[in-house]
Amino acid sequence: MNTKMPVRKLGTQGLEVSAIGLGCMGMSFGLGPAADKNEMIKLMHAAVEQGVTFFDTAEVYGPFANEELVGEALKPFRKEVIIATKFGFNIENGKMNGVTSKPENIRKAVEGSLKRLQVDVIDLLYQHRVDPTVPIEDVAGTVKDLIKEGKVKYFGLSEAGASTIRKAHAVQPVTALQSEYSLWTRQHEKEIIPTIEELGIGFVAFSPLGKGFLAGKIDETTKFAEGDIRNILPRFTEEARSANKKLLDLLQQFANEKNATTAQIAIAWVLAQKSWIVPIPGTTKLHRLTENNGAINIYLSAAELQAIEEASAQIIITGNRYTEAMEKSTGL
């Protein structure tokens, strides 16, 4: 394993992170029962050994459990790693209850995150979802104040639309936009990616493996655990999984040629799109972590990227990535 993982710059304010990060959400939240805490600490330590310096969490994952886990796991490596977290949901009695980005809520969230992550400063703080009731300028202004106070280093947005990004960036430079991006979720290429390229904002790609589908181990017979978000996603119905195999077959073709896995080709494709895109695949398994990070050693030539582009353009992806209600909360 190449432990000297290359770094990439996010934004123009000086943030550098490993070219592949680690999404930590699924360790505690969203994919059925939480994984064993000690195993997840071992996994994060292995990630650091493999050269990963960029870890992604949020107060709402759990709620709170994931930040506590990440804080405990990464405490010994505090000087070596960048931890990103997010605010923006109203959490009442341990349950998520809609979005909120009122300035007082942002401050409360940050104080909680600092404690749970066991840090003096949050490296990268994202607004998790756009709150239509609070002007984005007020959100950016609050984060600007938190940066001045030394509680936050860099400001990010998640799943925000182009005009929101522009308005926020005018108040406080946005270092990174985090949104879903993979070979089967590409709607951000139309407007979002050109906007952030123009403004000098980095892109953090979550679900670069299409919530696991592009790793090739999920088919129409796969049963997801209770509490796994994929049980309700249109793209993960049995019919959709069966239809979407065509994309996997395409990835498999390139994987065979490169002596790689479909997951590695999917991540290498994301890395090849722009030098300022950082994918953050999530996993709870050590062998998957090693496999995902191995994508850094796979080079896709211009001709190969063109071939993937042409072949994937013929494949219609079945099913929306989110339910209608979830899509509404993205702010796009």
What is the set of active-site residues?
Answer: 61
Whether the Cβ atoms of residue 277 and residue 267 lie closer than 8 Å to each other: no
3-state secondary structure 185-243: ECHHHCCHHHHHHHHCCEEEEECCCCCCHHHCCCCCCCCCCCCEHHHHCHHHCHHHHHH
Return the structure tokens found at 86.
């997010």
Return the structure tokens found at 238.
């049995």
Q: Omega into 63 within 30° of 0, i.e. cis?
A: yes
Separation of first and last alpha carbons in the chain: 38
Burial bucket for residue 178 (CB in 10 Å: 0-12, 13-18, 19+): buried
CB-based burial, 286-297: b 16+ in 10 Å, e otherwise: eebbebbbbbbe
Strand order in the sheet with 122-127: 22-23, 54-56, 82-87, 122-127, 152-158, 174-180, 202-206, 277-279
CA nearest neighbour of 54 among 167, 134, 156, 132: 156
Largest Cα span, the chain: 54
Return the structure tokens found at 271.
């890395």
CA nearest neighbour of 298 among 329, 332, 331, 254: 254
Query: Can you tell me the distance from the alpha carbon of 145 to that of 147, in angstroms, rounded to the nearest whole number?
Result: 5
Whether the Cβ atoms of residue 212 and residue 286 lie closer than 8 Å to each other: no
